[in-house]
Amino acid sequence: MKFNFKHLLIYTSVAVVSLGTATAQDNRPLSSNATLDELINFALNNKIEVKQAQIDQEIGEREIASALSGWYPQINANGNLTHFIQLPTANINGQNIAMGQRNTSALTFQADQAIINPGLFQASKAAQFIRQKNNLALENTRINTVVDVSKAYYDILTSEEQINIINENIARLKRQHTDASARYETGLVDNTDYKRALISLNNANAQLKSALEFRKYKYDFLKTLMGLNPTDGLSLSFAGQNMESNVLLDTSELVQIANRVEYRQLKNLQEIQKLNTQYQKWSYLPRLSAFANYGLNYRNSAFADLYGNNYPQSSVGLTLSIPIFTGMKRIQEVKKSELQESRIEMDLANLENQIGAQYSAAMASYRANTVEWQNAKANMELSEEVYNTIKLQYDAGLKTYLELMTAETDLKTSQLNYLNSLYALLASKLDIQKALGTVDIQQ
């Protein structure tokens, strides 16, 4: 088994260059009035989970290099210094004779080179799957980042539109409150209309404060998704963001399970498990290695003269280890690994069913939200017509203030319902793209 160290050097160099590029990207500040694409790009470079996945890639490269280092010669040095208080003896012709000298010292250098080693065979074959595993983990994190940031952005955009609607509502209510006050002061009506206008105005102001508080939280949540501190500033640009133009989706596209990163992750795990089964079978192979050593030996009865003379020794050879019987452990390990392979096969079948159900649920949600959005849009347009008509009739004295307030409430409610249904539709579209595995992470 030969390992190409040149390839390992190239892989490591590319990884270091990639990390340096990512670091350079991290230092780029987010521009003011950031667009959705800029937010996604920033998040893909700065979100904590993305950075952790990139570090995991680096850790994986180090683990691969560490595992494959066993193919290099392993060189060790060992030294010792011994003083015999009593010399060892040997019985020669019935006489006990002291052997050796009181002071000995040795320094030995040994190099070992693996030739046949099942563990190193597995490490060599597993390298590509370990890289693939870490790359898929990063891809999965990037997909979730794109979806989460997009949803958070559209959620803020919805809140901004809601605040605009509430501000428009407050402006109308202020005018109505002024008109009601003037009518009351001139004696045309009692104070009921005036008080109703004041109540509606107070409720609208309270609603505006709540909306502003929720908007602040949504901005903080978006900052978290992007790897920003909540105290950092963030301003968004909504120029050219027509939410309605982003809701269209080809509903005829079919699920291609191989596009899902979760499926590819499980297939990768399956390949690793197959390799583990192969390794358990390789454990029947002998282990063969070569060695070479050189030793420096010193001995003398006088400690001061110990290192005066050297008696070197050197040798080369092969070491062969043949596993014969391990108490049936290898057989059990092979069977266990094969059962784990079967279990992953079931996981793949179960995942395929789950992806189908997930897509079905996302598509059902998208179609239902499409109906809700179309209905809400129609109701909003009708509410605007009704309000404008009743407002003219109220100014002409043909309608009561209560009827005007009812029309005003219906208009505001229909506008907010329209925005909520539009956001739900956009979110369900993103869920479908995620279910199809077509989320664009190459920003």
**Mean pLDDT throughout 82-95?**
88
- Residue 442 backbone dihedrals phi, psi, to 5 degrees: -90, 65
Q: Comparing 76-90, 147-161, 236-250, 370-384, which segment has the lowest mean pLDDT?
A: 236-250
pLDDT value of residue 239: 66
pLDDT tier, 443 (very low <50, low <70, confident <90, very high otherwise):
low
Residues β-bridged to residue 91: 96
pLDDT tier, 20 (very low <50, low <70, confident <90, very high otherwise):
very low
CA distances from 199 to 163, 164, 177, 186, 210 (A): 19, 20, 10, 21, 17
Measured at the CA of 269, the angle between CA 267 and CA 275, to 5 degrees, comes to: 105
Q: Comparing 32-41, 124-133, 246-255, 325-334, which segment has the lowest mean pLDDT?
A: 246-255
Residues with Cβ within 8 Å of residue 366, at least 6 apart in sequence: 249, 251, 425, 428, 429, 431, 432
- Per-residue pLDDT reduced to its tens digit, 388-429: 999 899 888 888 888 888 998 999 999 999 999 999 999 999
- Per-residue pLDDT reduced to its tens digit, 50-85: 999 999 999 999 999 999 999 999 999 999 999 999
pLDDT tier, 235 (very low <50, low <70, confident <90, very high otherwise):
confident
5-72+117-286+326-436: CATH, from 3.40.30.10, 2.40.50.140, 1.20.1600.10, 3.40.50.970: 1.20.1600.10
**pLDDT greater than 60 at residue 188:** yes
Residue 341 and residue 276 in contact, taking contact as beta carbons nearer than 8 Å: no
pLDDT value of residue 14: 36
Domain boundaries, the chain: 5-72+117-286+326-436, 76-115+290-321
- Nearest CA among 358, 431, 354, 363 for reference residue 146: 431
**pLDDT greater than 80 at residue 277:** yes
Residues with Cβ within 8 Å of residue 35, at least 6 apart in sequence: 236, 237, 239
Residues 11, 58: Cα–Cα separation, whole Å: 11
Residues 54, 25: Cα–Cα separation, whole Å: 13
Residues with Cβ within 8 Å of residue 424, at least 6 apart in sequence: 365, 369, 372, 373
Residue 40 and residue 146 in contact, taking contact as beta carbons nearer than 8 Å: yes
Measured at the CA of 288, the angle between CA 284 and CA 289, to 5 degrees, comes to: 150
Q: Is 181 exposed, middle or buried (0-12, 13-18, 19+ CB in 10 A)?
A: middle
pLDDT value of residue 29: 66
Q: Please report which helix (H) or strand (E) contains residue 429, including its range.
A: helix 401-436
pLDDT value of residue 30: 76
CB atoms within 10 A of CB 35: 16
* Highest mean predicted confidence (pLDDT) among 31-35, 194-198, 257-261: 257-261
pLDDT value of residue 147: 94
* Long-range contacts, 376-382 (Cβ 8 Å, 24+): 376/414, 376/417, 376/418, 376/420, 376/421, 376/422, 377/418, 379/414, 379/417, 379/418, 380/411, 380/414, 380/415, 380/417, 380/418, 382/414
